[in-house]
C-alpha cells in the first residue's frame, strides 16, 4: 500500500511536468489508451513551442537523472517512439548542477582507502563536467618512482545516486505492469522490455569499474594504431564509484576553426573517424556507442581521442555478417537478398511473405538509388528498416538499435567536419578488404573447417556422456521408457551420422592438400 501511494504521488508530479511541456503524446495514447488520451488532452497545454520530441526532452530533463537516462535509452528505440522523436531525444543534454567538491573528496577517500593528498598532488575542486550519474574533476597524481605526476580525469559517482535510480526504476516497473493490466493493447509498446533494458544499462553505468574495463578493452583493440586513442586507466585509483584515466589535451571534434588553426585538415580527421568506427563495428564487434562531439577530441598530434565509455555496444560475428550482407544488398539494389538474409537470420518469422517483405525493402532502398553519395545516411536507412520490419513481426534487436543510433551520431560528426563527403565512402578500402576476408569463398571454407574441427573436438565428450548413460542404464539407476529409448537412439544416430560426415569432410580437406604437396615433392 505504501509503495502504491508513493508511486501515485510521484506519478502526479510526472504528469504535471509532462502537461506543462505538452508532452503527453495525446495522438499516440488515443490508439492504445483512449480514456487516458481524453484526460491528457484536458490537462495538456497547447501553446508550448517545439516538436513533440523536443517537448518530451525538456520534460525529461526537468524530472532529473533517471528520466534523462530514460530519454537517452528511448533515443535508441526509434521503433518505439519514431525516428523524429528519437533524433530529438538524442539531443537531450545530460547536464546537471555539480555536487560539492567536499563530497567528491570524501567519496574518493572512502572508496580508495587513502587521503586525497596521498593520491593526488593537486585536485581541482571545480568539476569540468557534471552529468546525471557522475561528475569529472581534473587532477595531477602524486609523483612516483622519480617520475613526475600525471594529468588525469577523476570521475566520481553522485552521492546516493543508486538509491535515487532504484526508486525511479521501481516506479517504471510498476507503471509498465499497470499499463499492460489496464490497457492490454499497449503491449505493442513493450513497456516492460524498455524498463528492463534501461535497468541493465544503468546498473552497468553505476559501476565505474565496468567503464574502466570497457576503456581498457577498446584501447587494446587499437594498440599500435595512433589514429584513434583511448586514455589509459589508472587502476590503482579506480573503484566502483571512482574512475581515474589519463587526461586528454585536445579540441572537440566539432570545433572546426580551432582544428584548422592548429594546422590540421578536417578531411583527414574525418577519414580517421570513418576508419575508427568501421574497425570498432566490423573488425572488433565492440564499439563506443556515444561518440558525440563532446566525447571525441582531436589531440595535439592531430589524431582522434575518445572519452566516456559508459555506453558500449557489442556485435557477435554472425550479426556483423548479417549487417554487412544487408547493407551490401541495399547499396547494390538487391532487395531480394536483403529479404532473404532477414529470414535466414530468423529475424523475420518464416510464416511471413518473403515477396511482400522484399517489396517493403525496395520501398526503403529505391529512394537511395542515383542520389549523391554524401546524401545517403546508413543510420537513417537502418531506422527506416526497423520501422518497416516491425510490421512483419521482426523481433527487436537491441544491439542493432544501439548501432543505428551510433551510426547517426557518427554521421553527424562527419557532416560537421565536411558535409560534402560520405564517411562510409572513405572507409570503402577497409570495407572491401573485410568483405573479401570474411564474406568471400575463402572465408566460407574456413568457417566450414572451423565447424568441423569444433565437431571433432566435441566428440570425446559426447562419447563419455554416452558411456556414462549406458553405465547408469545397466546399473538400473536410470530408467527410460522404451519409446523414449527409441527416440533417443534415432536422434543419436542422426546426430552421429552428421558428425561422421563432418569428420570425413574435415579429413578430406586436410588430407588432400597434404597428398598433393607430397606428390609434388616426390616428383
Q: Which residues are catalytic?
A: 290
Are the CB atoms for 33 and 40 separated by under 8 Å? no
Q: How does DSSP assign 382-400, residue by residue? A: HHHHHHHHGGGTPPP-HHH
The three three-digit cell numbers of residue 415, written as one number: 557532416
4: which residues sit within 8 A by CB, 6+ positions away?
174
Residue with the three cell numbers 570521475 = 155
> Which three three-digit cell numbers place residue 414?
562527419
CA quadruple 307, 312, 316, 319: dihedral sign? negative
CA distance 400 to 403: 5
Residues 6+ apart with CB under 8 A from 236: none
Which DSSP string corresponds to 80-147?
A: HH-HHHHHHHTT-----PPPPHHHHHHHHHHHHTS-HHHHEEEE-SS-SEE-SSEEEEEEEEPPBTTB
Going by C-alpha positions, the residue among 172, 182, 184 that lies closest to residue 67 is 172
In 3-state terms, what secondary structure has residue 1? coil
Q: Which residues touch 319 (CB under 8 Å, ≥6 apart)?
A: 285, 397, 399, 400
Cβ-contact 410, 271 below 8 angstroms: no
Amino acid at each position: 500500500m505504501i509503495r502504491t501511494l508513493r508511486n501515485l504521488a510521484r506519478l502526479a508530479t510526472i504528469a504535471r511536468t509532462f502537461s506543462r511541456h505538452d508532452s503527453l503524446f495525446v495522438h499516440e495514447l488515443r490508439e492504445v489508451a483512449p480514456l487516458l488520451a481524453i484526460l491528457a488532452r484536458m490537462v495538456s497545454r497547447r501553446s508550448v513551442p517545439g516538436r513533440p520530441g523536443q517537448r518530451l526532452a525538456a520534460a525529461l530533463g526537468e524530472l532529473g537523472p533517471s528520466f534523462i537516462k530514460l530519454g537517452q535509452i528511448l533515443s535508441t528505440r526509434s521503433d518505439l517512439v519514431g525516428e523524429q522523436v528519437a533524433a530529438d531525444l538524442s539531443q537531450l543534454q545530460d547536464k546537471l548542477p555539480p555536487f560539492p567538491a567536499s563530497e567528491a573528496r570524501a567519496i574518493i577517500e572512502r572508496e580508495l582507502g587513502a587521503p586525497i593528498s596521498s593520491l593526488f598532488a593537486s585536485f581541482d575542486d571545480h568539476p569540468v563536467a557534471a552529468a546525471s550519474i557522475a561528475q569529472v574533476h581534473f587532477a595531477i597524481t602524486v609523483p612516483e618512482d622519480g617520475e613526475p605526476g600525471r594529468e588525469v580525469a577523476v570521475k566520481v559517482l553522485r552521492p546516493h545516486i543508486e538509491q535515487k535510480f532504484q526508486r525511479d526504476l521501481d516506479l517504471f516497473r510498476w507503471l509498465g505492469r499497470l499499463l499492460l493490466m489496464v490497457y492490454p493493447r499497449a503491449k505493442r509498446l513493450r513497456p516492460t522490455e524498455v524498463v528492463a533494458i534501461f535497468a541493465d544499462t544503468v546498473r552497468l553505468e553505476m559501476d565505474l569499474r565496468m567503464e574502466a574495463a570497457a576503456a581498457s578493452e577498446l584501447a587494446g583493440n587499437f594498440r599500435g594504431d595512433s589514429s584513434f586513442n583511448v586514455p589509459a586507466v589508472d587502476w590503482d585509483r579506480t573503484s566502483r564509484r571512482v574512475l581515474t584515466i589519463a587526461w586528454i589535451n585536445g579540441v572537440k571534434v566539432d570545433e572546426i576553426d580551432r582544428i584548422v588553426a592548429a594546422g590540421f585538415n578536417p578531411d583527414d580527421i574525418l577519414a580517421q573517424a570513418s576508419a575508427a568506427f568501421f574497425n570498432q563495428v566490423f573488425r572488433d564487434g565492440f564499439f563506443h556507442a556515444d561518440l558525440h562531439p563532446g566525447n571525441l577530441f582531436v589531440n595535439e598530434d592531430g589524431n582522434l581521442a575518445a572519452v566516456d565509455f559508459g555506453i558500449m555496444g557489442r556485435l557477435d560475428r554472425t550479426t556483423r555478417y548479417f549487417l554487412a550482407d544487408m547493407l551490401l544488398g541495399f547499396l547494390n539494389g538487391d532487395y531480394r537478398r536483403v529479404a532473404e538474409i532477414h529470414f535466414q537470420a530468423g529475424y523475420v518469422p518464416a510464416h511471413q511473405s518473403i515477396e511482400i517483405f522484399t517489396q517493403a525493402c525496395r520501398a526503403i532502398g529505391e529512394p537511395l538509388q542515383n542520389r549523391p553519395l554524401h546524401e545517403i545516411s546508413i543510420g537513417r536507412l537502418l531506422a527506416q528498416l526497423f520501422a518497416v520490419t516491425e510490421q512483419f513481426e521482426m523481433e527487436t534487436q537491441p544491439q542493432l538499435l544501439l548501432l543505428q543510433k551510433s551510426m547517426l551520431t557518427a554521421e553527424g560528426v562527419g557532416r560537421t567536419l565536411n558535409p560534402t563527403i560520405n564517411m562510409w565512402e572513405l572507409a570503402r578500402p577497409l570495407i572491401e578488404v573485410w568483405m573479401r576476408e570474411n564474406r568471400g569463398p575463402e572465408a566460407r571454407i574456413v568457417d566450414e573447417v572451423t565447424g568441423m574441427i569444433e565437431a571433432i573436438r566435441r566428440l570425446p565428450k559426447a562419447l563419455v556422456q554416452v558411456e556414462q548413460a549406458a553405465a547408469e542404464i545397466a546399473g538400473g539407476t536410470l530408467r527410460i521408457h522404451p519409446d523414449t529409448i527409441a527416440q533417443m537412439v534415432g536422434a543419436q544416430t542422426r546426430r552421429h551420422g552428421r558428425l561422421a560426415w563432418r569428420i570425413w569432410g574435415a579429413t578430406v580437406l586436410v588430407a588432400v592438400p597434404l597428398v598433393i604437396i607430397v606428390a609434388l615433392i616426390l616428383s
